[in-house]
Structure 1
Amino acid sequence: MTIPFDKNIILNFFSYLSTDAHNLIEDVVTDDFTLHNPFDTKHSMIEMFEAFLLLKHYIHYSFTHVNDENHNTYEAHGNLQILDAEEDISIRIPMSATFSIRNSLILSIVLSTTASRSEKEILLRIRRKALKDAVVLLNKKISTAV
């Protein structure tokens, strides 16, 4: 299912953005933290939106600027705010996101950050914890559905 392209839908989508649960580069602590084409070829916005929903508790993305460069490419800059009361973590990492859209489908997403090495280590730790919790939630959903 695809939906008509709307900037507000994109903003809502990225407000839940944390990490790509499927193909994020595992070694986030390297100097380059860039995620490119995180999904197989073409997926609808709805499908991709669902992939991020379970991680929204940990990481929040807030935009400061959206720039319409051309009809197919959009850019956003903001801060990735990581909140985890259990581990007493609250940091803000500057990030930018560039995504290409054609026929209401997101074709590619590129994320980049200027985070320090220690911030990336925190991001990796929180990501692993979030994914573990997401698996537990999914298993509960599956077991109650059967």
Structure 2
Amino acid sequence: MTDFYALSAQRGDGAAVPFSDFRGQVLLVVNTASQCGFTPQYAGLESLQQEFGHRGFNVLAFPCNQFGRQEPGGDEAIATFCTSRFQTTFPIFAKVEVNGAAAHPVFRLLKSSRPGLLGIPAIKWNFTKFLVDRHGAVVGRYAPTTKPADLREAIVALL
């Protein structure tokens, strides 16, 4: 299995971000979309970022258009939407695929580490969340219906 910290991704502005930059932090990796029924969860994600960011926590958002084409915009439009509507301060990466042959390597790793219901690795919808501990181990997978606030206890336990 690939080491989480050996991976990298492009931010929406095109800058490459090595995940080694997040070594020692607790991370919540989320596939997001701006036109989804779960889009208001951005507010909850930002709330977690504000509450725990100073303690070594980060939300990593990966916009994805694979589910109902609910993320049709370009990377700049997505970033503008997130910052203007939800005042996000956490990293918003470039749009990725999370399933299929073109799935971003981070999602291949997350899904293989924490398959979904009945052991099926595929992500079923936007706002699936993966919790990564300070050592890069994927320790939790949460359904889109799980509200960010419901993850507070799990995050605190890792901090």
Give yes or no for TM over 0.5: no
Task: Please say which structure displays the higher CA radius of gyration.
Answer: 1
Which structure is higher in RCO with an 8 Å CA cutoff and minimum separation 6? 2
Higher strand share: 1
TM-score (norm 2): 0.28
